[in-house]
Amino acid sequence: MGFVELLLVAVGVSMDAFAVSVCKGLGMRAIDLRTTAVMALFFGGFQMIMPLAGWVLGSQFLWLIAPVDHWIAFGLLGAIGGKMIVDSFNKDRKANCSFGIRSMLVLAFATSIDALAVGITLSFMDVSILFAVLLIGAVTFVLSFTGVRLGYVFGKKFSVYAERIGGIILILIGIKILIEHLSMPH
């Protein structure tokens, strides 16, 4: 997996955190740089830890999974992307805009579960996991920080499109992995 694909994965898995950050921005009465940075650190930190945990799990079972790894990657990325797209159409969802530590831990964990699955997928590929998790964390930090500020300025409408775009990116990467593997001579 090259840098561009890895960057697109990072952007894709960051979209949930971005969407929640937009919501958080909506709840701010005034932009607070410290709160915005802490929020972005929560999301970026969890987005670094979860793919690393997934990579460790995937690496332990590589011998068992290797014959079907491309199908697993396709399925996981497709399911995660599809869920993001479907969730973006849920008009009844109410985002939690509280800023407490407990709330932030729950939101950071919930938005990074897809990163765990991505970590499992990365264990099947020739990729530096350290570089991958640092890139995912950095992209999530930047997008979350930006999301809070955009939410403050632009409103709720933008978060729905971000989630849809993230879902589409993950599905397309899953399709690309499947096509590349199926077209390789065995």
What is the C-alpha separation between 100 and 178, in angstroms, rounded? 41
pLDDT tens, position by position, 159-178: 667 767 767 877 887 787 78
Residue 133's pLDDT band (cuts 50, 70, 90) = very high
Q: What is the identity of the amino acid at 127?
A: V
Q: Name the average pLDDT for the chain.
A: 81
Supply 23's token pair: 């919501």
Distance from first CA to last CA of the chain, Å, rounded? 19
Cβ neighbors of 72 (< 8 A, separation 6 or more) are 65, 120, 121, 124
Closest CA to 47 of 125, 122, 124, 157: 122
User: If you average pLDDT over residues 118-131, what whole number do you get?
Assistant: 88
Burial zone of 58 (CB within 10 Å; 0-12 exposed, 13-18 middle, 19+ buried): buried
Sign (positive or negative) of CA dihedral 69, 73, 79, 80 = positive
Q: Is the pTM of this model over 0.85?
A: no
Domain ranges of the chain: 3-183
pLDDT tens, position by position, 50-107: 999 999 988 887 677 667 777 877 887 788 778 778 877 876 554 445 567 877 887 7
